[in-house]
């Protein structure tokens, strides 16, 4: 009979939880009777109590790239986290589209005109001092990628999706997290 067994006595497994993003040592969960727990198991996260499924090297849900950013308005934060989660389930094109929407919203929240193209908003962010001087190469790359995808449906890779999430993370830190952390100047 092939059924699930409690693996509490088998020892702990270190993992980064795909739900809460915390590095934990899980001691509770289940494995398939007759199959080694390293091959197939379900591990409970001691931090958030949610289950992660391991099947060989596959981890579901996977680890979302990027880091959490503080002091971000709810709507923006939702898009950022959605884009990260898309990558964790290999939905790269969906992640890229979500990141683009996020960057557009960000530019509009910083007083850019509405109803423009993605490239317009990337240029707006770059020209208005939201990108550090040595980030120009990065902006050019994102612009080029954005143009490519405007006229045809292009399959996006993990690399494309992770790049945009990193870019969004940097902007969110500049626009929301750091200003909220640094005390206002006394002058
Ligand atoms: Zn967790």
How far apart are the CA of 101 and the centre of ligand 1, in A?
28
Give 100-155 pLDDT, tens digit per residue.
Answer: 999 999 999 899 999 998 889 999 999 998 888 787 788 888 877 776 655 666 78
How far apart are the CA of 47 and the centre of ligand 1, in A?
5
Of 93, 72, 35, the C-alpha closest to 180 is 72
Query: Does 43 have pLDDT greater than 90?
Result: yes
Of 62, 4, 1, the C-alpha closest to 37 is 4
What pLDDT is recorded for position 187? 60
What pLDDT is recorded for position 57? 83
Neighbours of ion ligand 1 (CB under 5 A): 17, 19-20, 45, 47-48
- Mean pLDDT, the chain, whole residue set: 88
Cα 144 to the chain's mean position, in Å?
Answer: 22
Q: What is the mean pLDDT of residues 78-107?
A: 92
Percent of the chain clearing pLDDT 70 (strictly above): 94
How far apart are the CA of 41 and the centre of ligand 1, in A?
16
What pLDDT is recorded for position 152? 67
Say how many residues make up the chain.
187
Percent of the chain clearing pLDDT 90 (strictly above): 49
How far apart are the CA of 1 and the centre of ligand 1, in A?
31
Query: Does 91 have pLDDT greater than 80?
Result: yes
Query: Does 59 have pLDDT greater than 60?
Result: yes
> What angle in degrees, to the nearest 10, is found between the helix axes of 158-172 and 74-88?
160
Full-model pTM: 0.74
């Amino acid at each position: 009979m092939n059924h699930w067994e409690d693996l509490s006595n088998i020892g702990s497994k270190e993992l980064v939880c795909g739900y809460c993003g915390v590095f934990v040592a899980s001691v509770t969960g289940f494995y398939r009777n007759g199959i080694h727990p390293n091959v197939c198991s379900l591990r409970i996260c001691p931090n958030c109590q949610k289950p992660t499924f391991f099947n060989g090297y596959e981890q579901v849900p996977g680890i979302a790239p990027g880091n959490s950013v503080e002091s971000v308005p709810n709507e923006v934060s939702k898009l950022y986290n959605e884009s990260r989660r898309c990558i964790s389930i290999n939905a790269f094109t969906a992640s890229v589209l979500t990141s683009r929407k996020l960057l557009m919203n960000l530019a509009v929240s910083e007083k850019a005109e509405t109803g423009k193209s993605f490239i317009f908003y990337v240029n707006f962010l770059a020209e208005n001092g939201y990108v550090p001087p040595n980030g120009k190469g990065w902006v050019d790359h994102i612009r080029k990628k954005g143009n490519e995808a405007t006229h045809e449906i292009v399959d996006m890779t993990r690399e494309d999706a992770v790049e945009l999430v990193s870019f969004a993370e940097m902007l969110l830190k500049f626009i929301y997290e750091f200003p909220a952390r640094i005390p206002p100047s006394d002058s």
